[in-house]
Amino acid sequence: MKRLLVLVVIAVLAFTSISIAAPRRGGTIRVGLNADPPNMDPHQSTAAVDRQVFQNLFDKLVDINQDLEIVPMLATSWTISENGRVYTFRLRTNVVFHDGTPFNAEAVKYNFDRMLDRSFGSLRFSEVNLVTNVQVVDNLTVRITLEKPYSPFLSIMADRAGMMVSPTAARQAGKGFSLQPVGTGPYRFVEKRPQERIVLERFDRHWDRNAGNAQQIIYRPFTDENARLANLRAGELDMIDAVAPSEVPRLRTDPQLKMAERVGIGWQGMWIQVESGIFANKALRQALNATIDRRTLVRVVFGETAEPGNGPFPPGMFTHSIPANSRVPERNLDLARQKLREGGQPNGFGFTLKVTPGRTPQQVAQVIQSMAGEVGIRVNIEIVEFGALLSQLDAHRFEASLLGWSGRPDPDANIYGFFVTGGTLNNSAYANSRVDALMDAARILTTPEQRRRAYTDVMNILNEDLPYLFLWWPKDYKVYSPKLQGFVHVPDGMMRFRHVWLNP
């Protein structure tokens, strides 16, 4: 009997070792992106697609896991002072940048100095502008002091502001660092051919010996959803970062592919340039907004892959329940005509709506064009390459544009930089001192209820001023080959390949 039991145990262990594949080394992970990443410098980047590459090229002070919890990365531990103003980070040992230089407390200080340098013009400035001092306590300890308590600080460190660049490489390259980025991630930069590919290669000196299973990662841009999926089906890609909404029902039952699906933390809609031009007239912004039926838009274009929205806080975020955020406005053509009269354009007006290439954004634009046209608002749709559109939005060279935000775990990062006066992500050139004061207060407040109250007042004002028309909250989908193993779908939508491997 004992012999039989031993044989059964051996058989179970043998079966387990066969059925649970161990990570393999080698091979190339080929990834299809929905656009060509325009900027490889995390301190200058604004595009979500940049961040897809950054996850494997750079390490951050901290990261988030699939439950949106803050977890260690380059910082192994941290303490926060009782007044909430001083963060002391203990750093990981034996970390080097891809250029062989050491990562230490001096490197952390350099990165903050770089982001805070007005002459450098970092797009992270609004995220870290409360930092008043970065002190090197010792080689592996850094103390960061804030002007006042800042609840989202750790969350901010889990994204681009927490990504550490090589001081040596950054000093040498200046604003050209994007052309040859150097981080501490498990993969190092090899080359970028615009509109063709980005190549990363395994970094053998990475501190996490279990990271970087593949030898290479190659990213290829596909603005056409059908072409992206076709390349995955044909075996030319191992994973894609987005899929056309119409394909989701079929992919759920596709035996040849795997699909990961999560509720997202981002928002989508339309930027309105309020500083000058036709939309400097608030009544005309209100007229356009009143023509849009968000529920119909989502049903026609996205089906079950999105929810109609009216704010920057999607479902799952503790600020979602704010009425001015969660209540979707009804279409009201009588109100639209009234606002046209108030705005001095009773017969309607025309404007240009800029969109990126691809079937889905063009479908959204066409639905809006049809809806607005019922009251005489004429929408001219212009298709602009993604990187060029970002540059035009940064320079406020547009009237309206469809573009959203991939989202962050803390509400502050979904609203502050976009609507604070002079914010580095404030494409609409919006300015309202009351909104500034309320958002500053929300950064200091510590309880969810206190922060909800502050954001309630903010959203009431934004829904009146309309520098941005929030239209829908997308779900996040990743589709990949079954030979790609170990992938974890984190709610921020970023593809982390640190511990992913390929089975032949």
Are 57 and 37 in contact, with CB atoms under 8 Å apart? Answer: no
Other C-beta atoms lying within 10 Å of the C-beta of residue 485:
17
Q: What is the largest CA-CA distance in the chain?
A: 94
Rounded CA gap, 444 and 35, in Å?
36
What pLDDT shows up at residue 21? 63
What pLDDT shows up at residue 118? 93
Which pLDDT tens digits describe the chain residue by residue (504 residues)? 434 333 333 433 333 333 346 899 999 999 999 999 999 999 999 999 999 999 999 999 999 999 889 999 999 999 999 999 999 999 999 999 999 999 999 999 999 999 999 999 999 998 999 999 999 999 999 999 999 999 899 999 999 999 999 999 999 999 899 999 999 999 999 999 999 999 999 999 999 999 999 999 999 999 999 999 999 999 999 999 999 999 999 999 999 999 999 989 999 999 999 999 999 999 999 999 999 999 999 999 999 999 999 999 999 899 999 999 999 999 999 999 999 999 999 999 999 999 999 999 999 999 999 999 999 999 999 999 999 999 999 999 999 999 999 999 899 999 999 999 999 899 999 999 999 999 999 998 888 999 999 999 999 999 999 999 999 999 999 999 999 999 999 999 999 999 999 998
Are 351 and 341 in contact, with CB atoms under 8 Å apart? Answer: no
Are 398 and 271 in contact, with CB atoms under 8 Å apart? Answer: yes
SS (H, E, C) 185-251: CCEEEEEEECCCEEEEEECCCCCCCCCCCCCEEEEEECCCHHHHHHHHHCCCCCEECCCCHHHHHHH
Are 247 and 271 in contact, with CB atoms under 8 Å apart? Answer: no
Give the DSSP H or E segment for 375.
none
Identify which of 392, 396, 395, 368 has the alpha carbon closest to the alpha carbon of residue 380. Answer: 368
Rounded CA gap, 436 and 418, in Å?
11
DSSP readout, 410-466?
A: SGGGGTHHHHSTT-TT-TT----HHHHHHHHHHHH--SHHHHHHHHHHHHHHHHHH-
pTM of the predicted protein model: 0.86
Domains within the chain, CATH numbers bracketed = 22-58+185-257+481-504 (3.40.190.10), 59-168 (3.90.76.10), 268-475 (3.10.105.10)
